[in-house]
Amino acid sequence: MELERRNVLQKQGFKAKGHLAIHNEKLGIVAAKIVNSEDFRIDEQLAGQQLTQGYQSPFILKFISASIYENHTIILAEYANMKNLNDLIEAKRELPVPLIRAIIGQLLEGLRLMHEKGLIHRFE
């Protein structure tokens, strides 16, 4: 994807670069995670791709691409309009029960998928 053809819509993240919500002419709104290449773990990226390959779920973000630009790796994925769980935890506010149920349901669906794909509880 050509990074020159994008509009940055939102910046967030706890590291220097963090995450960007960008608008691309072809893909619409996507998330770009920018990581120092020395911190990028290809094995983690490949595990994530293996996990989601051919799987459709509203709870699993779709991987689009990963590219290296100078000393940064840029990972493009489907955009999620909510903040991450770390933001909710650090806010230290009481969460409404329906939100807790939704989060737990999504976590359990993620665990189910990891189990289905053989990433956890593998018997050899």
- pLDDT of 28 strictly over 90: no
- pLDDT of 19 strictly over 70: no
Higher-pLDDT residue of 17, 100: 100
Residue 63's pLDDT band, with cuts at 50, 70 and 90, is: confident
- pLDDT of 101 strictly over 90: yes
Residue 2's pLDDT band, with cuts at 50, 70 and 90, is: very low
Q: Residue 112 sits in a domain of what CATH number?
A: 3.30.200.20
Give which of 106, 94, 93, 59 is closest to 78, Cα–Cα.
Answer: 59
Give which of 72, 59, 4 is closest to 33, Cα–Cα.
Answer: 72
Tokens of 76: 């493009």
Asked, for residue 62, whether it belongs to a domain, the answer is yes
In the chain, the number of structural domains is 1
Asked, for residue 124, whether it belongs to a domain, the answer is no
> Contact 74/66 with Cβ under 8 angstroms?
yes
The residue range of the domain holding 96 is: 6-116
What number of other Cβ atoms are within 10 A of residue 20's Cβ? 20
Has this prediction a pTM greater than 0.85? no
